[in-house]
Amino acid sequence: MSLIGYLKDKSMKIVKEKFKFEPKFNFYWGRIYFISDNKEKKTKILWAATHEYLRKQFLTEAPSGKEIDSFVNKVVQNWKRAGRSVFKRDLEYDIYAVFPGEKEVALSWLKENRKA
């Protein structure tokens, strides 16, 4: 597990892994863990964003590592807004795509490779 850092909140710890690129399907993906302050609850968020989605977000042909890290921080903030309800399930999927069918491909890949 390659960590890029963690955030400490009053009610939870947030751990972000370094993003990875899946060249066969042209998307970036990673894991974010939300751990309750008493460590009794833990939720893993598997996220994916297609290259095209990030390209449009940052108006560039090839998003930089810094830009992708910035995107991951936004994903964290979106989930953090849920507060303690983030712990409803042990595993969540969060996928960002532009074209029809890309979400399904990314979701299927994440489900098959979630332990990778």
Residue type, 32: I
pLDDT of residue 100: 84
DSSP string, the chain: --EEEEEE-SSEEEEEEPPEEETTTTEEEEEEEEEETTSS-EEEEEEEEEHHHHHHHHTSSS--HHHHHHHHHHHHHHHHTTGGGGGGSSEEEEEE-SSTTHHHHHHHHHHHHTT-
Residue 15: which domain range? Answer: 3-113
**Contact 38/24 with Cβ under 8 angstroms?**
no
User: How many separate domains does the chain show?
Assistant: 1
pLDDT of residue 64: 96
pLDDT of residue 1: 46
pLDDT of residue 9: 57
Tell me the C-alpha distance between 60 and 58, whole Å.
5
Q: What is the pLDDT along the chain (116 residues), one digit of tens a residue?
A: 444 455 555 678 999 999 999 999 999 999 999 999 888 999 999 999 999 999 999 999 999 999 999 999 999 999 999 988 999 999 999 999 999 899 999 999 999 987 76
**CATH assignment at residue 105:** 3.30.160
